[in-house]
Amino acid sequence: MGRIMQILNIAAYKFVALDGLPELQATLADALQARTIKGTVLLAEEGINLFLAGASADIHDFLAGLRADARFEDLEIKESWSAAQPFRKLLVKIKPEIIRMNHPAIRPSAGRAPAVDAATLTRWLDSGHDDDGRPVVTLDTRNAFEVDVGTFQNAIDWRIAKFTEFPQALLDHREQLQGKTVVSFCTGGIRCEKAAIFMQEAGLTNVYQLDGGILKYFEVSGHTHFEGECFVFDQRRALDPALQPRVNVGAASEG
């Protein structure tokens, strides 16, 4: 008999201009500690990125308070469940970027790259081309060790060791993407959002980000066109297409 999945895990991010970061950091830390929620919240002038876990009532109560702030009222959440708390502690940190790229001119809060939802990507991959007949390729923007756990079939993988290597990898391989519709993807959407903007600025014209990343794709399309599982940066280590943990072993957290 399986273990009861009673811990709600949430992942979310939003690129939005933030000020008063120390005050916001203290407010969120107090709210999370009061509800015994663990995980990581990253704050930067460009937005918020969070991975949290706790009792369902505590998580939803915290989210209601967070969304009372107009800057976060439309925050989209990806949910999954686990039998045990996957995080060891709570961290609420201020960083230069909520996902480090070392390209401060890339500001998604100023305007997103076009996004494609999971159902549309599934349809495109079924047919091998987009609605205009262009060949479709998926581009994995994650680190090589994440890709090794699972990725889309025939996805482009440049074996980067960290996201800061993506811009140069794109410039080195830009020609192989010309004339194709490129869908960048990552775990929850944050890296592929920056990646898609960078690709546009590098001169590629048919570029999309996978809205919600792999986790949202699993919710909508399951394992279709995906091989393996999705690496996550907590003690669950990897989620299968049903968003169930593969193993409960320690894993490093990503800043």
**Are 8 and 53 a contacting pair, CB within 8 Å?**
yes
pLDDT at 209: 95
Look at residue 201 and tell me whether its pLDDT is greater than 50.
yes
pLDDT at 218: 94
Class of domain 108-239: alpha beta
What is the mean pLDDT of the segment spanning 175-190? 94
Residue 107: band (very low, low, confident or very high) from pLDDT cuts 50, 70, 90:
low
Residue 192 annotated to the active site? no
| Average pLDDT of the residues of the chain | 90
DSSP conformation class of 83: S
Domain ranges in the chain? 7-94, 108-239
Q: Which residue has the tokens 């811009």?
A: 167
- CATH 3.30.70.100 for domain 7-94, yes or no, is yes
User: How far is the C-alpha of 65 from the C-alpha of 68, rounded, in Å?
Assistant: 5
Active-site annotation holder among 53, 118, 186, 197: 186
What is the mean pLDDT of the segment spanning 196-219? 93
Question: Which comes out higher in pLDDT, residue 105 or 89?
Answer: 89
pLDDT at 1: 38
Alpha helices by DSSP H, listed for the chain, are 21-34, 56-67, 118-127, 144-147, 166-173, 190-201, 213-221
**pLDDT tens track for 78-95:** 888 899 999 999 999 999
User: How far is the C-alpha of 111 from the C-alpha of 193, rounded, in Å?
Assistant: 10
User: How far is the C-alpha of 77 from the C-alpha of 202, rounded, in Å?
Assistant: 30
Q: Give the rounded percent of residues in the chain with a pLDDT score beyond 90.
A: 74
Question: Which comes out higher in pLDDT, residue 111 or 227?
Answer: 227
Q: 196: helix, coil or strand?
A: helix
What is the mean pLDDT of the segment spanning 151-156? 98
